[in-house]
Amino acid sequence: MNNWLNQHIQTIKLVLGRMQNNALSTFMISLVIAVALCVPGLFYLGVDHLSKFTNHMQDETEISLFLKLDADKDAVTEIGEVLAKNDSIKNFHLVTKENAWQALKSKAEADNETDSKIADLEKNPLPDAFFIQAKSTEPETLEALKKELQSIPGVEHVLLNTDWAKRLSALLALGKKIILFVTALLAVALLVIIGNTIRMQILTQKDEVIVSKLIGATNSFIRIPFLYAGILYGLFGGLLAIIMLVLAVKVFNLSVQQLSSLYSSDFSLPLFNGQLFVGIIGFAIFIGWLGSYLAVSRSIASIKIN
Amino acid sequence: MIKFDQVTKRYPSSNEALKNASFTIEAGELVFVTGHSGAGKSTLLKLIAATEKPTSGTVLIANQNISKLKPSAIPFMRRKFGLIFQDHKLLYDRNCFENVILPLHINGITGNEAAKRVRAALDKVGLLQKEKAMPITLSGGEQQRLAIARAVVSRPSILIADEPTGNLDASYAADIMAIFHAFHQVGVTVIVATHDALGMSAVQNRVLHLNQGQLTHTQSGLDGVHHE
């Protein structure tokens, strides 16, 4: 076991030494891997964060129930009783037209701009409204509840405030699929590039392969350093991708924050996403290993010792 | 130990490199394979080292028929041999020590045990002081001695050398021959191919002489006793 470990450490040292000797080409291949992984990584980061954001929005599902303008106090109480009997409603509260009117006026006073226009209004244009928290967050259930509420006499309009979040999350699901597809395409390209690099290395190390075969090395022994080279390319590429990703997010956030402050939101992309980073490195190492594995077996077999 | 029975080797689009050769080499023998270049000496050695398979006939190494070996078993068969080539086949991207340790790594030997054995092998060929040197900085004779150190480091029971002195001047060649004799003294089977009649005159050992693929003498150098 100790021997086995020792041998692998020796091999890794040998491979690292060779990479150091060819530092530029090692950097180049790592850079190619990094760029290829950084692009989908960046999109993933954006889409993932947005979809968490919208999921959160969907959790806070609120249904707004606006009554007809001419609804009197009795009608309001009646509807309140109907709502209280409904099983799928967690809780609700009433905002009367007078309260809403007051709230609007005081907000207008704080906000000087609209002051004059609000003051110009002679009578209260607002309806009574119920704000309802449903028990379920399932879109289908909410849709059914919305229809049910719509049919209550005296109700003018029912608004499900999650509609836009639903649309966005459907869009984001599509975005995730596109990212997956792009990643798969880039992975194929990486396999080819890594495979070619390893094949070239085997050719430049042809003497070593021949000598090793002559003195009794098995094909799997000869293969090991090349597999490690692939794995190390993947590791370096993955690390480089993460560095690039963090830098890109930093630059992005400058503009994103500016944009989201215009929408009075504090939305920004997180700098650190451990799961994604581990995923990127793991994926890069796997691609490096697979690329060299596919290249190495045939190349070594094709080198004849006579 | 090594038994050839009516072995013929024919390469595609060429004459028979070896015709109907039959001989036996016992463990611990020192055997010279002689003949002009192109007489089939290299082919004979390649058949022994299982880098070629015979077109017909059987080659038995330690009672194993090399024609019937599975490809996966061949590397393990080769570990019985120490191979030395005219062109050394050293690896020029690593130093002497790292060249010699390669067979040990292949055998799964690492660490202090491996280092000890490497230094012992380098000592035997007189290169202990040069373990950190790169092979390219060594003279031709030193390179060949390094190749011998690599061949013997895993303590094979059979040493096979193809024209080991072919590129060397006489004094270096004598050095190399002396090393082979020393291994023979301690019981290693040594098989040396050479076209060098001068080097041969000094030895009193068994000779397999090849002429255009035909084995013409299989007798001992001095007393003329036929072994086959």
Mutate to test the interface with B, among A215, A219, A224 (most CBs of B within 10 A): A215
Is any Cβ of chain A less than 8 angstroms from the Cβ of B103?
yes
Chain B neighbors of A218, CB-CB under 8 A: 72, 75-76
Whether residue B18 lies inside any domain: the answer is yes
Is any Cβ of chain B less than 8 angstroms from the Cβ of A6?
yes
Q: Which of A133, A161, A189 is the last residue of a domain?
A: A161
Within this chain, do residues B100 and B206 fall inside the same structural domain, yes or no?
no
Chain A neighbors of B92, CB-CB under 8 A: 207
Within this chain, do residues A178 and A117 fall inside the same structural domain, yes or no?
no
Whether residue B223 lies inside any domain: the answer is no
Whether residue B197 lies inside any domain: the answer is yes
| CATH number for the domain that contains residue B20 | 3.40.50.300
Within this chain, do residues B29 and B61 fall inside the same structural domain, yes or no?
yes
Q: Which of A110, A144, A161 is the last residue of a domain?
A: A161
Within this chain, do residues A80 and A200 fall inside the same structural domain, yes or no?
no
> Which pLDDT value is given to residue B115?
93
Stated length of chain B: 228
Whether residue B222 lies inside any domain: the answer is no
Nearest-CA distance B126 → chain A (Å): 22
Chain A 191-210, residues with CB within 8 Å of chain B CB atoms? 207-208, 210
Q: Which residue of B has its CA nearest to A304?
A: B51
Q: How many domains does chain B have?
A: 2
Within this chain, do residues B106 and B45 fall inside the same structural domain, yes or no?
no
User: Parallel, antiparallel, or unpaired for β B189-194 and B30-34?
Assistant: parallel
Within this chain, do residues A179 and A156 fall inside the same structural domain, yes or no?
no
For helices B170-185 and B140-152, the axis angle rounded to 10 degrees is: 10
Is any Cβ of chain A less than 8 angstroms from the Cβ of B110?
yes
User: Which segments of chain B does DSSP mark as H helices, in order?
Assistant: 41-48, 74-78, 96-106, 111-124, 140-152, 170-185, 197-201
Q: How many CB atoms lie within 10 A of CB B220?
A: 16
> Which pLDDT value is given to residue A273?
80
Mutate to test the interface with A, among B78, B92, B98, B162 (most CBs of A within 10 A): B78
Within this chain, do residues B67 and B100 fall inside the same structural domain, yes or no?
no
Whether residue B101 lies inside any domain: the answer is yes
> Which pLDDT value is given to residue B226?
41
Within this chain, do residues A141 and A198 fall inside the same structural domain, yes or no?
no
Within this chain, do residues A219 and A234 fall inside the same structural domain, yes or no?
yes
Chain A neighbors of B117, CB-CB under 8 A: none
> Which pLDDT value is given to residue B191?
93
Within this chain, do residues B6 and B75 fall inside the same structural domain, yes or no?
yes
Quote the pTM value: 0.74
Within this chain, do residues B39 and B100 fall inside the same structural domain, yes or no?
no
Nearest-CA distance A239 → chain B (Å): 29
> Which pLDDT value is given to residue B83?
92
Residue span of the structural domain in which B101 resides: 93-140+149-154
> Which pLDDT value is given to residue A80?
84
> Which pLDDT value is given to residue B202?
52
Whether residue B227 lies inside any domain: the answer is no
Is any Cβ of chain B less than 8 angstroms from the Cβ of A262?
no
Within this chain, do residues A43 and A72 fall inside the same structural domain, yes or no?
no
Within this chain, do residues B11 and B65 fall inside the same structural domain, yes or no?
yes
Is any Cβ of chain A less than 8 angstroms from the Cβ of B78?
yes
Within this chain, do residues A44 and A80 fall inside the same structural domain, yes or no?
no
Within this chain, do residues B24 and B75 fall inside the same structural domain, yes or no?
yes
> Which pLDDT value is given to residue B150?
95
> Which pLDDT value is given to residue A274?
85
Q: Which helix (H) or strand (E) holds B66?
A: none
Q: How many domains does chain A have?
A: 2
> Which pLDDT value is given to residue B220?
59
Chain B neighbors of A7, CB-CB under 8 A: 105, 108, 110
> Which pLDDT value is given to residue A162?
67
Within this chain, do residues B74 and B176 fall inside the same structural domain, yes or no?
yes
Within this chain, do residues A52 and A135 fall inside the same structural domain, yes or no?
no
Within this chain, do residues A131 and A246 fall inside the same structural domain, yes or no?
no
Chain A neighbors of B108, CB-CB under 8 A: 3-4, 7
Q: Which residues of A196-227 are buried (b: 16+ CB within 10 A; e: fewer)?
A: ebbbebbeebeebbbbbbbbbbbbebbbbbbb
| CATH number for the domain that contains residue A132 | 3.30.70.3040
Within this chain, do residues B41 and B101 fall inside the same structural domain, yes or no?
no
Within this chain, do residues B74 and B11 fall inside the same structural domain, yes or no?
yes
Within this chain, do residues A174 and A283 fall inside the same structural domain, yes or no?
yes
Q: Which of B102, B131, B154 is the last residue of a domain?
A: B154
Mutate to test the interface with A, among B76, B94, B110, B155 (most CBs of A within 10 A): B110
- The pLDDT tens digits of the residues spanning A206-247 come to 888 999 999 889 988 899 999 999 999 999 999 999 999 999
Mutate to test the interface with B, among A211, A221, A303, A305 (most CBs of B within 10 A): A211
> Which pLDDT value is given to residue A281?
94
Cβ-proximal residues to A108 (8 Å cutoff; 6+ apart), any chain: A114, A115, A118, A119
Residue span of the structural domain in which A143 resides: 62-161
Whether residue B86 lies inside any domain: the answer is no
Chain A neighbors of B151, CB-CB under 8 A: 215
Within this chain, do residues A236 and A104 fall inside the same structural domain, yes or no?
no
Please answer yes or no on whether B79 and A6 come within 8 Å at the CB atom: no
Whether residue B47 lies inside any domain: the answer is yes
Q: CA torsion A129→A132→A138→A142, rounded to 10°?
A: -40
The mean pLDDT value of chain A amounts to 84
Chain B neighbors of A6, CB-CB under 8 A: 110-111
Of A70, A64, A62, nearest in space to A125 by CA: A70
Within this chain, do residues B127 and B74 fall inside the same structural domain, yes or no?
no
Q: Which residue of A has its CA nearest to B49?
A: A214
Q: Which of A112, A131, A161 is the last residue of a domain?
A: A161
Per-residue confidence in pLDDT tens, chain A, 306 aa = 677 787 888 889 889 988 998 899 999 999 999 999 999 998 888 888 787 777 766 666 678 888 888 878 888 888 888 888 888 788 888 888 888 888 877 777 776 655 556 666 777 778 888 888 877 767 777 778 888 888 888 888 888 776 676 777 788 889 889 999 999 999 999 999 999 999 999 998 888 899 999 988 998 889 999 999 999 999 999 999 999 999 988 888 888 777 777 776 667 777 778 888 999 999 999 999 999 999 998 888 888 776
Within this chain, do residues A100 and A236 fall inside the same structural domain, yes or no?
no
Q: Which residues of chain B have pLDDT under 50?
A: 221-228
